[in-house]
Each structure stands twice: as structure tokens, then as C-alpha cells.
Amino acid sequence: MHAEPDWQLVRRVFEDAVEQPEGARLLSIERALSSRRDLLEPVRRLLAASEVSESPLDATAGALLGAPLDETAADLATKGFSASASASASSSTSTSTSTSTSIAASSGDLIGRRIGDCRVLSLISSGGMGEVYLGERELGDVRQRVAIKLLRHGLDSEALLARFRLEQRTLASLQHDHIVRFLDAGVLENGRPWLAMEHVQGLPITEHVRRQSLDPRGIVRLMLTVCDAVQFAHARLVLHRDLKPGNILVAESGSPKLLDFGVAKLLRPEGTRTDATDATDATSGMPPITPRYASPEQWRGEPASVATDVHGLGLVLFELLAGCPADGAGTRLPSECAPAAARRALRGDLDAIVQQSLAADPHKRYASVEALAADLQRWLDDEPVSAHRAPAAERAARWLRRHRWSAAVGGLLITTLMAGLIGTWLGRERALAEASRGWGAHSQARRAAVFLGELLESGGPEPWRSADVTLRIDTELANSPEAESLVRLALGRQAHARGDSASAIVHFERALAISADGRGLNKLDLPLVQTLLAAARSQSADTDTDTDTDTDTDTDTGIGIGAGTGAGTGAGVGTETETETGTGKSR
């Protein structure tokens, strides 16, 4: 037992260390305790204990007390099974004629037998890869249900076997709530490799989504959890390589679990000459990857990468959103395959996210699962998604080319206005995609765009404070609350950026007033406008007290706030505009 101050130190050092990757932990504690080497040993012991992957403490006391009866039940089951082994074998052959008798016979042999430290209880399923058995494992004092996968394929060479052993250690270190725990692996006397993993009950993710009739938001939330698990593994340098709906089970609680992490690699390590024998592997009924869900680079026989799993996640996302699997060529968008009623919600951002995940060129996909997840999260939060960035900039450039505003007004003004407008416009499109408003809002956004375009041509150098402009807003946009609020927002931002807080306040207040009764701005945009208004107010207060206000600071504030919203789009448009203007002039 440690004295209090020592204990606090032990605690801190330990807690810091467990947050490190396993390899870096020892180093971390040695560094932290360089002046207290007497505490090194206790912390080291704690660390060693913490790396015990399974312990009775991970169960609950009640479950432990419940164990004995479970054991009896399991014993009975085993006896029952072995007694009727021949019967079950013959029934399985008669029910599924496609299953070869040899499998049935071997399953009869295996039931009741030990594989590793697991006892085989019953056959769960059998398929192209081999058979899956329900087993039980006794570790210390805890019993655990396990699934044992017995592969059809033999591992013949010593080198492959060694590789297999090395891999399995990595897999065993993947401990995550949403990844099925890999427990053990080995090779039977007859050369058939086996894998033991945690036994999970659940439905394939597609089936779960169908039964729960999850909407796109629900699907995206579920996929975020899946992404999290994949990202966790990637951070530990483990790729899944075979992501597909059947490998993502969802428990009744709605919690997803990923199966067979890295198993594809166990079966067929890359960079070995066996790659050349893929075709024979495939014909022997054990494809190293599932053809329908394989990525283009896997088809080409190139090594898998993070982008391979991004592709896999994209396929799953496609299938969940559209309700049917993506076609091999990947030419169609989810919204083009979905039933008519669901199409609208997918068009736009979700289409773009799926499309970017499925790009044929791995480099054009999201650079990481994290990036994909971030975009999904942005979609959930109604923020502009990055998958859209390029098209938005293109659209803006095209638009600018059409209206040659650049000659009349300064480039900065245009870019800021455009960034604000497009940012808002994109938000609007999302709102539309959610089918909450319909075409009315869209046409109003167009009106706003046209109106602002005209202002740029004829609104004078400071349209936000022109009485003429105010009059035009009042007359031309009187019955278009959405358009008016958009125009006011754009003008207010511009005024604010130029240090004219008084005008900014007027525009923002008016935009909020229009939107107060549910018309006008999308309610998701309101907090932004309120923030802008508050900023304008405090800026105006500053100007009142200190007449010497530095204009640079003002501009900074304006841009800073703008960046929070139109962010990526703004920057993209900025550069696009300048180049476009340049070519426009030279022509």
C-alpha cells in the first residue's frame, strides 16, 4: 500500500501510460518516474496486470454466481450433441444437399472435442469458407461462449504458418466495444486453420436497418459507430479488408459489432507468392475476399490499404441507404437506385459522400475512415460536407464567369458575398434534401442569388448602407421572406466585415425578425445569425468607446466569423475567383 502522495503519482503515471499505444507504455512510465525509480516496479506491475485481456473482473458478480448452472446446461448440451452426432450429421446432409458429406462427417467428429482451449458444442453454419461452430472456452474461472471458425483451406508452408501466428497476436490486441474479440487461432492436425472469437448474436446490418426501418439519419448514426471501430483498428495498423454487411452484426440493443477483422489477411497474407494462385483459391471455394464487396484495387491484386476499408464502408453505406447493393462498376448513385420515396433524402450530400468513398482510384477516396466519419457527422449536423467542396467551387466559378461582375466590384467583396451565399445555399439544399420544405424554398434561394447578383452590378460600392437597396429589398422581396433573409444575411456579413456594424446590426436583426415565425432562414442557420449579430453589436460598442478603432482588427473579426460558416467553400471560391477573373480579363 502506498502513502497518499505516492499513490496519486502512481495513479497519474499509470493513467497516462494506458492512454499510450501498448509499445510506448513502458517508455512512458520510465520517463515519468525518472526521479522516482522506487515507484517504477509497482506501476510496471499494474501495467502488466492491466494487459491481461480477460479476467473475472470483466464479468459481474451475479454472472459469476450464475456460472455453475450454465456449466451444467453446457455439459448436457455437449452430451446430447455427441450422442446424437451421427443423427445430426445425417440430418444436415439431408436438409442441405449442397453441403458435402465430408463436412457433416467432420462436424460430427469435432463436436465435443477440444480445439485450443475451447470445447466444441455445436455446428452453427457451414459455407464456402468452412464451418462455424459454437464453442465454449474456460479461461481461469470464467466460461465464455465462442464462435470457432474452421477454415476449409489448409496452410501448407511453414512460413505461412509462422505468419499466421504473428498476425493472430496483432488481432488479439484489438479490443473495442464494437469489434468482435478475436480470442485464439491455430491449426488442426489435418492442417485446417481455425479461429476462435467471441460469439455474438445479431443480425447483419442490412437486415437490422430493414427491420427497424431506419431513416438516413439513423443509418448514418449507426455507420458512425462502425467507422469508429474501423478507425480504432486502423490506428493499430489492422485493416479489415473484407467489410460487407454480413461482417457487421447488430445486436438487439442496436449496437453493431464487426466480425472477421483482418481475417482476410490471415488467410492470404499479401506479398507472398500465393497471390499468384488466387484463381485456384477462388475455384476451390475459398475466395480470399468476397468478390461482390471487393475494391477495384483488390481485383487488380494490389495490396489493400486504408482506402480499401473506406471503399468497403462506402459499399455498406450505399446498400443501407439505397436498399440494394451497389453495382460492380460503381456508376450509379444511391439516390438513383433507391425507391422513389427515399431518393430525395439521398440526393446531394449523401450521394456525394458515398461517391467519394467508392471512387475507383483509391487516392480520390477519403484519405481515412476518420475523414469519412467526419463528413457523415457534418451531414448529421447540417454542416457543409467536404465531399461537396470541389463541385461547389466549380459551380461558383461557373456562375462568376456568367455574370462578369469582377470588373465593376472588388474581388474581395465578391468572394465574401459568394462564400456567404453559397454557404447558405448549400445549407438550404440540405434542408430540401430532408424534404421539409419543397421547391418554394429553392426558388427563393434563386431569387436571393439573382437579387444579390444585380446588387453587385448596380448596388454601388456599399450596397449594405444604400437607401436605394433597402427600398428595392422592401419592394422586390416583400413576399419572399426566405430570399429577403438570405439577402439580409449576406449584406449584414459584408457590412460587418467592412466595419460597418450599425448596418450589419440592422440587416441581421431584420433577418432574425423575418425568421422568427418559421419562415425565412432555416432554423439551423439561426444560431449563426445570432452569433454574427452579437459580434456586430460588440464591435459597434467598441467603436463607440474607442473612435480610433483599427480597421484591420475589424476585418479580421469579420473574416474570422465568416470562416466558421462558409469555411471550406469560402476559401475554395476565393482562389477560384481570382484565377477565373484573371483568365476573363486576358481574354
Of the residues 21, 27, 36, 57, which one makes contact with another protein according to CB under 8 A: 57
Binding residues for another protein, total number by CB under 8 A: 34
Tell me if 83 contacts another protein by CB under 8 A: no
Between 59 and 502, name the residue whose CB sits nearer to another protein. 59
Between 19 and 468, name the residue whose CB sits nearer to another protein. 19
Tell me if 23 contacts another protein by CB under 8 A: no
Active site includes 544? no
Between 20 and 284, name the residue whose CB sits nearer to another protein. 20
Tell me if 52 contacts another protein by CB under 8 A: yes
Between CA 508 and CA 373 the distance in angstroms is 33
Distance in Å, CB of 68 to another protein, minimum: 4
Between CA 379 and CA 402 the distance in angstroms is 30
Question: Over 72-135, what HEC string results?
Answer: HHHHHHHHHHHHCHHHHHHHHHHHCCCCCHHHHHHHHHHCCCEECCEEEEEEEEEECCEEEEEE
Nearest one of 168, 177, 165, 85 to 133, comparing CA atoms: 85
- Which distant-in-sequence residues (6+ apart) come within 8 Å of 486 by Cβ? 421, 424, 425, 444, 445, 448, 521
Q: Say what the alpha-carbon torsion angle 119, 122, 124, 129 is, to the nearest 10 degrees.
A: 60
Between 178 and 344, name the residue whose CB sits nearer to another protein. 178
C-alpha cell at 320: 443501407
Distance in Å, CB of 178 to another protein, minimum: 13
Tell me if 9 contacts another protein by CB under 8 A: no
> Are residues 205 and 256 in contact, defined by beta-carbon separation less than 8 angstroms?
yes
- Which distant-in-sequence residues (6+ apart) come within 8 Å of 449 by Cβ? 421, 425
Helix (H, G, I), strand (E, B) or coil at 487: helix
Nearest one of 177, 230, 226 to 205, comparing CA atoms: 226
The alpha carbon dihedral of 282, 287, 292, 294 has a sign of negative
Tell me if 327 contacts another protein by CB under 8 A: no
Distance in Å, CB of 129 to another protein, minimum: 28
Helix (H, G, I), strand (E, B) or coil at 338: coil
Of the residues 22, 53, 68, 474, which one makes contact with another protein according to CB under 8 A: 68
The interface region with another protein, picked from 40-48, 100-108, 213-221, 547-555 by CB under 8 A, is 40-48
How is residue 409 annotated by DSSP? S
Between 45 and 523, name the residue whose CB sits nearer to another protein. 45
Of the residues 23, 34, 65, 517, which one makes contact with another protein according to CB under 8 A: 65
Query: Which one from 242, 260, 351, 375 is the annotated catalytic residue?
Result: 242
Distance in Å, CB of 410 to another protein, minimum: 48
Between 199 and 488, name the residue whose CB sits nearer to another protein. 199
Distance in Å, CB of 225 to another protein, minimum: 13
Task: Return left, alpha or beta for 105; rule: phi > 0 is left, psi -120 to 50 is alpha, else beta.
Answer: alpha
Tell me if 137 contacts another protein by CB under 8 A: no
Tell me if 76 contacts another protein by CB under 8 A: no
The alpha carbon dihedral of 471, 476, 481, 483 has a sign of negative
Of the residues 72, 277, 436, 579, which one makes contact with another protein according to CB under 8 A: 72
Nearest one of 141, 143, 166, 169 to 71, comparing CA atoms: 143
How is residue 281 annotated by DSSP? H
Of the residues 23, 37, 38, 49, which one makes contact with another protein according to CB under 8 A: 49
Tell me if 64 contacts another protein by CB under 8 A: yes
Tell me if 5 contacts another protein by CB under 8 A: no
The interface region with another protein, picked from 68-76, 159-167, 237-245, 376-384 by CB under 8 A, is 68-76
Distance in Å, CB of 45 to another protein, minimum: 5
- Which distant-in-sequence residues (6+ apart) come within 8 Å of 65 by Cβ? none
Between 69 and 276, name the residue whose CB sits nearer to another protein. 69
Between CA 559 and CA 553 the distance in angstroms is 10
Between 47 and 396, name the residue whose CB sits nearer to another protein. 47
Between CA 368 and CA 350 the distance in angstroms is 17
Distance in Å, CB of 472 to another protein, minimum: 53
Tell me if 20 contacts another protein by CB under 8 A: no
Tell me if 353 contacts another protein by CB under 8 A: no
Between 52 and 367, name the residue whose CB sits nearer to another protein. 52
Of the residues 23, 62, 339, 527, which one makes contact with another protein according to CB under 8 A: 62
Question: Over 135-204, what HEC string results?
Answer: EEEEECCEEEEEEEEEECCCCCCHHHHHHHHHHHHHHHCCCCCCECCEEEEEECCCCCEEEEEECCCCEE
Tell me if 38 contacts another protein by CB under 8 A: no
Which 143-182 positions form the footprint of another protein (CB under 8 A)? 143
Of the residues 41, 109, 141, 336, which one makes contact with another protein according to CB under 8 A: 141
Of the residues 5, 15, 213, 340, which one makes contact with another protein according to CB under 8 A: 15
CA distances from residue 492 to 219, 471, 518 in whole angstroms, order as listed: 38, 16, 20
> Are residues 244 and 290 in contact, defined by beta-carbon separation less than 8 angstroms?
yes
Contact positions toward another protein, by CB under 8 A?
Answer: 1-2, 7, 11, 14-15, 18-19, 45-50, 52, 55-58, 60-72, 141, 143
Q: Give me the active site residues, please.
A: 242
